[in-house]
Amino acid sequence: MSLLSINDLQVSFKTRRGTVNAVRGLSLEIEKGETLGIVGESGSGKSVTSYALMRLLESNGRISGGALSYGGIDLRHAKESVMRDLRGREISMIFQNPRAALNPIRKVGHQIEDVLRRHAKATRSTARAEAIKALEAVKIRDPEARYNAYPFELSGGMCQRIVIALALACDPKLLIADEPTTGLDITTQKAVMDLIADLIAERGMSAMVITHDLGLAAQYCNRIVVMKDGEIVEQGDPKRLFTAPEHPYTRKLVDATPRSGASVRSLLPAEQRTPAPELPVSETPLLEVRDLTKTYQGKSGPVHAVKGISFKVMKGQSVGLVGESGCGKSTTSSILVRLTDPTSGEILFNGEDLAKTPAGTFARDPRRAAIQMVFQDATDSFNPRHTARHSIAEPLKRLTGLKGKALKDRVEELADLVGLPRPLLDRFPHQLSGGQKARVGIARAIAVEPQFLILDEPTAALDVSIQAIVLNLLVDLRAKLGISFLFVSHDLHVVRLLCDHVIVMRDGEILEEGPAAAVMDAPAHAYTRELLAAAPEPPALAETLSSAAE
Amino acid sequence: MAGRLSTIGTRIAQSIPVILGVVVVSFVLTRALPGDPAVYFAGAAADEASIAEVRTALGLDKPLPEQFLIYARDVATGNLGQSLSTGQPVLEDLANRLPASLELTLTALMLSCAVAIPLGVLAATRPGSAVDHLCRVLVTAGVSLPTFFTGVVLIYIFYYLLGIAPSPLGRLDFIYIEPDRITGFYLIDAALAGDWETWVGALKQLVLPAVTLALFTMAPLARMTRAAMLSALSSDYIRTARAAGLTEDKVLFTYAFRNALLPVITTLGMVFSFTLGANVLVEKVFAWPGIGSYAVEALVVSDYAAVQGFVLAMALLFVALNLVIDLTYTLIDPRIGFETK
Amino acid sequence: MSDTATRAEALKQQDGALAHIAYVLRSNPVTLLAFAMFAVLLLAAVLGPLIAPFDPLQTNASNALQPPSFTHWFGTDNLGRDVFSRVIVATRLDLAISIAAVALSFLVGSVLGSLAGYWGGWLDAVLNRVFDTIMAFPLFVLAMGIVAALGNTVENIVYATAVINIPFYARLVRAEVNIRRDAGFAQAAKLAGNSDVRVLALHIFPNALPPMMVQVSLNLGWAILNAAGLSFIGLGVRPPTAEWGIMVAEGANFIVSGEWWLAIFPGLALMFAVFTFNLLGDGLRDIVDPRQRS
């Protein structure tokens, strides 16, 4: 008998717009010792499923049908007191955003003790020792000291280890991991996932890993369930899913998952692939950065965010700027787009030093239109009170003086160019989807025909299938308009798809740079190798299959 | 721990510029009087000579910076001038009357905390229930009640109609003997003296004004408790605690309530501000012989030294209360010591 | 842009906002009630003397201290004046004081808060100190001190109420501006060629307005309370002017002998006004941010 079996589960939420069926007739089983991956894009109902089986749904949600059975216990009808005994002892859960998942004003050791004592795994006198043991189990160095720490004193990765320690303290038989690595840096992601995998194997637990990343699921799970709109579209062995996806949606997901050896066109469903455009790169530098530094005055002394970096971007070239959080890539892009002043250094743009014009007055500089940016968070980057049309028209009005019919025509021309249906122009940001907002953001950035476009993780918040479309749009625009790109990202696969040249940054310094293929295939620096190794690598067979299908 | 201690030190040091600011504002208020301050301070019945005397005493013939120094020195040495109406030094008057005000204010605050915080917690844990609705009504009605009006209504109901409250005149009916002054708080002094008859008498007088004041302060406290509790209950760490199977009591009190208490403590500062202000009105309604009614009496007869002394004393009292709140906060929230490190 | 397109856009925008307001009003009829109560207040303030049945200042010693009757709905006071007429006429003065005070603090607070929140630096530090000092006083007590110092007039009540409110507005605006200073849309506006002042005035400040309006509404109630409190202790408004606070103060002397109508009716009017603004503020909060509820 399987450890967990879900049969025809229905979950519905009451909202302003009526009842929403988040999970619609889902059935699955988890065997003892099995790690099941549940993969889906946002809104697919994958997290709701896990909350339903823990009976931790928000107050407006309820299980409206089906059966949930764990080791013979009917989870749907079990008393709340029975559920409380099960949670933490039989079934445990770890979450995304680990720092918020811990009580901010309670020592982490005490939080672990609370769980141990609740499930009678420790007494008052043994609690401390047991908690430290639990910390040791997740390979935390110096657990005695960490016992007394508060969550705010620990890094995100460390907090996730504590959350894992807390979840596993009472030796549960089933672990549910809800996007356990979202928001963590790529190398930390790998460390956390490896730890979870090791612990699962060591203790012979079953696990349910919920993720949007098909590649990650493929690497760590025995079996994968693909969900869409509250239903399972396909399930099976990871390799089989990648080599022979049966459902068109699975195929689309498999295709859209960035991986080494893929081309940007191959991310799209086969029938949408058009020949990739030519992307000529000139030998003339458009932008030349010389010895750029930026030092902030922090609370505990000066912070050197950027420590004297130099690089060039040629006309028509796409350069990738790669690094983990805190490496200085965002500061660099903010300086280059002239929103922040550097502490020292030159920014030669077409031979003129832009650093001589302070950021405060650059808004009225004639060269303002030449350098534009696509922002990371599509929601945050739009004035909530302006329609898409207004947002796209703003730079045109201010920088080109277009008015009336000419302005309207230009905005609509831009909408067509980025593939945004014209009726959507009159919507407000909150009425647009993530992909649509990305298109508006790109339209706004290219509206004034910049020569140089900085893209700050423009697809980080998007589902993979939308990301595939946006990345292809960017390639087409680059070919059509001859813009140079600086693509800032933490995702090496994506950088490789989009860039000719790669710069790897850490701690405000450039560690390595060179042609994308060279850096990716034969990294010179150990850190680059580490980054590459940390990126989840889906089974490579998919590519051959997709090309065979073409 | 060293970080915590130095944080406490920093907090105390931070109140010094505030006190300085208070003294400056208070100085500006005494000198901003339209016309000649000396005439105001000397009072209506003053002749040329006494006005000149006041002018020299206040240093009004000297340049402003020097006047400020004299003023600051006077404040530092406790010289707030003479009250025209009582003929006593203002500081002495205030010191005599302060315990009456504090007894009223603190009783009211304890009363309102004892009702408002549990009510807010209950409302947050049972959204949409009768308790929640009661909380909402109380909150909206409570902030709309002018304290002086509540007092008048309570007197009408409990004194005139029902006759169960004593006449609203002061701290103790004349049939009782005032307890020997130890703390100045009648309830404490009477208890210390073992005079329970007087204790009950003092309590009877205290109930109506304290309830009046408490009704006014309950609303912001209950509202904040409810909101803080709701936001704590919807946070990720509560989900973690529930997913770990912790009991509902543990989740509510150790996890949610302690976190919710932080914003509530911050609100207490604002509540103190309202209470000290409303205190003036309640004292007038109930003829309570505290510093508030002292100031109102002084206002009527244009006794400026007394009024400005009262304003300054209230501000210093409030700064001290805020400091206590800040220190409490520092002790509860471990993150505070970290910021300044 | 062509006319039709502009109109369509405006219509759509209106439609979305209206639909949302309609939704909030439907789910919370109390807000609708608050708007109705506000209309009553405005009517009383504007028409005031026109709808009062008697001259609010006309004394009549032979008709003093009459309980409520058909002729004198709210009874008569110790000088024989009609309490109902006085309550109605007082509306204008009480609303005028609070609206003037709130408008003043809104203006000054918005400007100072925007500057401090956007540019930070020494200006922010200095303003912060000044606001700290103002807030270091129990606010009603500071208002007393200011009126006592500046002189006992209605204008000074307005100024005092405005001064003690400025820190709230300035801090609110500062926080709202500060969190948006580096928001993507503010940066995008700069990339579109907007100078700092334009970004602040046209992009950031309008987004800080909704929470400000909530504050304004809640604050109006508080300002009325404050002004009435000051006149209750004999500051600002002088008798025989009709004003709610002073009427309660005069009536309080008769409450112990059972003549309740003198103090209760003006007190109820005062409560009604404050209650209206508080309900309105809560309702606006729902309209502005539905998440605040629940």
Q: Provide the residue ranges of all domains of chain C, joining segments of one domain with +.
A: 2-292
Average pLDDT along chain A: 89
Top pLDDT among C239 and C206 is at C206
Q: Which of A93, A100, A105 sits opposite B243 (nearest CB)?
A: A93
Which ipTM did the prediction report?
0.86
A385/C206 touch (CB, cutoff 8 Å), yes or no = yes
Of residues C1, C13, C192, nearest to A395 (C-beta)? C192
Q: For A268-272, A342-346, A508-512, B1-5, which range has the lowest pLDDT when averaged over its residues? A: B1-5
Closest residue in chain B to residue A178, using alpha carbons only = B240
- Interface A–C counts its CB contacts (< 8 A) at 83
For residue C222, the model assigns a pLDDT of: 87
Which of A397, A402, A437 lies closest to C198 in space, CA to CA? Answer: A397
CATH code of the region C2-292 = 1.10.3720.10
Rounded distance, CA C199 to CA C188, Å? 10
Preferred mutation among A14, A394, A402, A437 to probe C, highest tally of C CBs within 10 A: A394
pLDDT of residue A25: 92
* Run of H or E including C129: helix C121-135
Best mutation target among A114, A119, A170 (most B Cβ atoms within 10 Å) is: A114
pLDDT of residue B1: 52
Tokens coding B19: 């006190």
3-class secondary-structure state, position A319: strand
A162 touching B (Cβ < 8 Å):
no
Q: Name chain A contacts of B257, Cβ cutoff 8 Å.
A: none
The confidence score (pLDDT) of residue B337 equals 54
pLDDT of residue C7: 43
pLDDT(C291) > 50: no
Tell me the Cα Rg of chain B.
Answer: 24
In whole angstroms, what is the distance from residue A177 CA to residue A192 CA? 11
C contact set with A (CB within 8 A): 1-2, 5, 8-9, 12-13, 16, 23, 183-185, 187-196, 203, 206-207
- Taking the C-alpha atoms of residue A369 and residue A398, their distance in angstroms, rounded to an integer, is 10
pLDDT at residue C183 greater than cutoff 60 = yes
Mutate to test the interface with A, among C185, C205, C294 (most CBs of A within 10 A): C185
**Could B255 and A88 be called an inter-chain contact, meaning their C-beta atoms sit closer than 8 Å?**
no
At B225, which helix (H) or strand (E)? helix B196-233
Closest Cα in chain C to A359: C190
pLDDT bin (cut points 50, 70, 90) of residue C251 is: confident
Region A462-477 average pLDDT: 90
Measure the CA–CA gap between A329 and A491, rounded to whole angstroms.
13
pLDDT of amino acid C278: 85
Task: Assign A465 a pLDDT band (cuts: 50, 70, 90).
Answer: confident
Give the pLDDT band of residue A450 (cuts 50, 70, 90): very high
CB of A148 within 8 Å of any CB in chain B?
no
Contact C1 A408 (CB under 8 A): yes
- Confidence band, pLDDT 50/70/90 cuts, at residue C293: very low
CB contact under 8 A, B21 and C132: yes
- With contacts defined as CB-CB under 8 Å, which chain A residues touch C286? none
The token pair at A507 is: 């701690």
pLDDT value at position A221?
A: 93
Please state, in angstroms and rounded to a whole number, the distance separating the CA atoms of residues A245 and A239: 9
Whole-angstrom Cα distance, residue A175 to residue A52?
A: 14
Q: Select the residue of A361, A363, A389 nearest C9 (Cβ to Cβ).
A: A389
pLDDT of res. A260: 76
The answer on pLDDT for A532 being more than 80 is: yes
Q: Which domains does chain B have, with CATH numbers?
A: 1-85+301-341 (no CATH), 99-300 (1.10.3720.10)
Q: Which of residues 208-237 of B touch C (CB under 8 A)?
A: 230
Does the distance separating the beta carbons of B240 and A102 come in below 8 Å?
yes
Instruction: Say if A301 is an interface residue toward chain B (CB within 8 Å).
Output: no
| Domains assigned to chain A | 4-256 (3.40.50.300), 285-549 (3.40.50.300)
pLDDT of residue C9: 42
Residues of A in contact with C16 (CB under 8 A): 428, 431
What's the confidence (pLDDT) of residue A286? Answer: 93
Rounded to a whole number of angstroms, the distance from the CA of C271 to the nearest CA of chain B is: 6
How far CA C112 is from CA of B21, C108, C164, in Å, comes to 19, 6, 14
User: Looking at residue B339, what is its pLDDT?
Assistant: 43
Give CA–CA dist C5/B326, Å, rounded: 56
For residue A161, give every residue at least 6 positions away whose Cβ sits within 8 Å of its Cβ, in sequence order, or none: A138, A139, A140, A192, A195
Candidate from A403-417, B274-288, B302-316, C17-31 with smallest mean pLDDT? C17-31
Chains sharing 3 or more CB pairs under 8 A with chain C? A, B
Contact A381/C207, CB-based, under 8 Å? no
Q: Select the highest-mean-pLDDT range: A81-90, B214-223, C42-51.
A: A81-90
pLDDT confidence band for B34 (50 / 70 / 90): low
Q: Say if the Cβ atoms of A115 and B246 lie within 8 Å.
A: yes
Q: C-chain residues within 8 Å CB-CB of A13? A: none
As a whole-number percent, the residues of chain B with pLDDT over 90 amount to 29
For chain A, say whether B1 makes contact (Cβ under 8 Å): no
Q: What are the Cα distances from residue A126, in Å, to A116, A129, B163, B254?
A: 10, 5, 62, 21
- What average pLDDT does this structure show over A455-474? 89
d(CA B117, CA B222): 6
C24 alpha carbon, distance to own chain's centre: 22
Q: Cβ B334–A150 below 8 Å, yes or no?
A: yes
Q: Is the pLDDT of residue A155 over 70?
A: yes
The shortest C-alpha distance from B193 to chain C (Å) reads 33
Nearest residue, CB atoms, B242 vs list A87, A100, A104: A87
Decide if B245 and A163 are in contact by the 8 Å CB cutoff.
Answer: no
Residues of A in contact with C8 (CB under 8 A): 426
Tell me if A375 and C188 make a contact (CB, 8 A cut-off): yes
What was the pLDDT predicted at C6?
Answer: 41
pLDDT at C16: 59
Q: Of A77-86, A168-177, B124-133, C116-125, give the lowest mean pLDDT range.
A: B124-133
Which one of C2, C185, C196 has the shortest CB-CB distance to A383?
C185
Provide, rounded to the nearest whole percent, the portion of chain A with pLDDT above 90.
59
Cβ C188–A368 below 8 Å, yes or no? Answer: no
Q: Which residue out of A80, A103, A107 would a mutagenesis test of the B interface target, given it has the greatest number of B Cβ atoms within 10 Å? A: A103
Q: Which residues of A12-26 are buried (b: 16+ CB within 10 A; e: fewer)?
A: bbeeeeeebbbbbeb
Res. A409: pLDDT tops 90: yes
- Whether residues A118 and B244 touch (CB distance < 8 A) is answered with yes
Model confidence at C13, pLDDT cuts 50, 70, 90, reads very low
Would you state the pLDDT for residue B169? 81
Checking if the pLDDT of B241 tops 80, the result is yes
Give the pLDDT of residue A36.
95
Q: Tell me the sheet residues that pair with A208.
A: A36, A176
Task: Give, in order, the Cα–Cα distances in Å from A63 to each of A6, A85, B58, B243, C185.
Answer: 12, 20, 78, 17, 40
**What mean pLDDT comes out for the span A389-411?**
92
Chain B hits for C264, CB-CB cut-off 8 Å, are 152-153, 156
What rounded mean pLDDT belongs to chain B?
85
| Residue numbers in C near B25 (CB within 8 A) | 133-134, 137, 142
* A438 neighbors A459 (Cβ within 8 angstroms): yes
Instruction: For residue A69, list its beta bridge partners.
Output: A5, A74
pLDDT given at position C76? 81
Q: Closest residue of A to C20, CA-based? A: A16
| Residue from the list A369, A381, A385 with its beta carbon closest to the beta carbon of C188 | A381
Least confident window among A498-507, B139-148, B329-338? B329-338
Residue A372 with chain C: CB contacts under 8 Å: 191
Question: What's the mean pLDDT when you consider all of chain C?
Answer: 83
B92's CB contacts (< 8 A; 6+ apart) are none
Binding partners of A (≥3 Cβ pairs within 8 A): B, C
Distance from CA of C19 to the nearest CA of A (A): 12
pLDDT at C289: 61
Within 7-36 of A, beta carbons closer than 8 Å to C belong to 16
| pLDDT computed for residue C167 by the predictor | 92
Chain A CB contacts of B242 below 8 Å: 56, 87
Sheet holding A285-298, edge to edge: A301-314, A285-298, A344-349, A352-353
A105/B246 touch (CB, cutoff 8 Å), yes or no:
no
What percent of chain A clears pLDDT 70, i.e. is strictly above it?
Answer: 98
Digit-coded pLDDT (tens) for C24-44: 667 667 778 888 889 999 998
C-beta neighbour count of C263 within 10 angstroms: 26
User: Which residues of chain B lie closer than 8 angstroms to A85, CB-CB?
Assistant: 245
A547: confidence class by pLDDT, cuts 50, 70, 90: very low
Give the chains touching B; criterion: ≥3 Cβ pairs < 8 Å: A, C
What is the average per-residue pLDDT within C85-99? 90
Q: What's the CA gap between A215 and A239, in Å, rounded?
A: 11
Task: Answer whether A56 sits within 8 Å of B241, measured CB to CB.
Answer: no
Preferred mutation among B10, B234, B239, B340 to probe A, highest tally of A CBs within 10 A: B239
